[in-house]
Amino acid sequence: MPASAAGSTRTAVADARHFWERTAAGWHGVFAALVLICVGLAVFDEDASTKAKVSVVVLLALWAGWYVLTWTRFWAGQRSHLGLVYVAGMVPLCLATLAIAPSTSVMLFVAIAQIYASVQRLRYAIAVVVLLFVGFGIALSARGAGSEVFAGLGFSAVFSVVIGAWIGGIIRQSGDRAALISELRDTHAELATVAAERGALAERDRLSRDIHDTVAQGFTSIVMLLEAAEPMIGVDDAAVRRHLELARQAARENLDETRSLVAALTPAGLADSTLVDAVRRIADRCAEEAQLAATLTVTGSPRRLASASEVVLLRAAQESLANVRKHAGANRVELTLAYAGEDTVLRVHDDGCGFEPALASGFGLNGMRARVEEAGGSLCVSSRPAGGTTVEVRLP
């Protein structure tokens, strides 16, 4: 049997047993009540001898003791085999009681229920029930019972088998449904876990890109400014102060970006200004820090974009300018922000040394591409050695 099928079978059996466990308290009460009733019937039976009365009481007491010793522990989950052990002892006790006092036949009600509850295989349970009725029939035959008694007994036997099979089928069907529900719950839990893990990974990637495009680039600017100021110490104090002021400004902006990242808010550059203003601000800073000419041209009618789209465009501008500053050796960089119909296009072109795009690697460019694609846009990088570089980001 395949592992999944075996697991489903075990689950169905467990759920069927769970049905009996849920109703165990009621069955305990019914059993105790019927034992007391049968004791009363036996004691007050005027036609029974004292020996018969004592025998019935003793048999019922033994039955009750056997019930407590095995069947209650079976349903408490202590031993899975105790159900069969209980049935093996209960059937002869029941038959002996019925043989001495047929008036105690009401005990068949709980005896049959206990058989169906204890014997997991339905066909085996039916066989034990039939055996119980056959034994009772033999006992009645020995007492000279009439045909009408056997007719009633036969009807009761057939009824017990049919009802037992019907109820057993319902319990098994309920068990199958419970197993399916359990599997669906497990699947739902697994999907929720996978979704949470993917969400965490996506958030980790987003934070990595944000840190690279903001904090890391800011620190790079500070380092470059300090390195530029160092050889001028004692030579050109005005230039040193200018570089230190730029480094201080970059540090403050870095601090604002860090606080923004921690709070998971809009980038500091967009918190209190438009996208055009934010891009113009970083272009001016790049020009001042790198001593190059930087211009921003805006075409179309500027409009407020979705916050996520503005973040993508601003980060792309920051990363592109950082690459120009670090790698291009450019004298001029031109930024264009075009509001073209439903699309918004950011273009950054420099006249630097260029590179071979097919050989490009690094977290910055890959992170920019991932960020743009997540927003449903496209990134195009055009460059050639000694021919400058153009980065174009298009967002719908």
The CA distance from 59 to 96, in Å, is 8
Q: Look at residue 2 in the predicted model and tell me its pLDDT.
A: 42
Closest CA to 112 of 25, 34, 12: 34
Model confidence pLDDT, tens digit, residues 103-150: 888 888 888 888 887 787 778 888 888 888 888 888 777 777 666 666
Q: 378 to each of 251, 309, 341, 346, 354, how far by Cα in Å?
A: 32, 12, 16, 11, 21
DSSP for residue 68:
I
CA 318, distance to chain mean position in Å, is: 38
Residues 6+ apart with CB under 8 A from 304: 274, 310
More confident residue, 350 or 167: 350
Residues 6+ apart with CB under 8 A from 367: 208, 209, 212, 213, 319
Q: Which residue has the tokens 């002021």?
A: 245
On the 0-12 / 13-18 / 19+ scale of CB atoms within 10 A, 259 is exposed
What integer is the mean pLDDT of 349-366?
76
Of the segments 97-101, 195-199, 260-264, which one has the largest average pLDDT value? 97-101
Task: Please report the DSSP string for 303-357 in residue order.
Answer: -PPPHHHHHHHHHHHHHHHHHIIIII--SEEEEEEEEETTEEEEEEEE-S----G
What integer is the mean pLDDT of 350-368?
76
3-class SS at 86?
helix
The answer to whether 64 and 74 have CB atoms below 8 angstroms apart is: no
In this predicted structure, the answer to whether residue 376 has a pLDDT above a threshold of 60 is: yes
Q: 342 to each of 148, 302, 393, 395, how far by Cα in Å?
A: 92, 12, 14, 9
What integer is the mean pLDDT of 155-174?
72
Tokens of 73: 């522990």
Model confidence pLDDT, tens digit, residues 275-325: 898 889 888 888 887 888 999 999 988 888 888 888 889 888 888 888 888
The CA distance from 346 to 374, in Å, is 16
Kind plus residue range of the DSSP H or E element containing 211: helix 147-211
What integer is the mean pLDDT of 55-82?
79
Residues 6+ apart with CB under 8 A from 312: 371, 372, 375, 377, 393, 395
Radius of gyration of the chain (CA): 43
What is the tally of helices (H) and strands (E) in the chain?
14, 5
% pLDDT > 90, the chain: 8
Q: Which domains does the chain have, with CATH numbers?
A: 3-145 (no CATH), 276-396 (3.30.565.10)
Mean pLDDT (the chain) is 78
Closest CA to 228 of 201, 246, 253, 208: 246
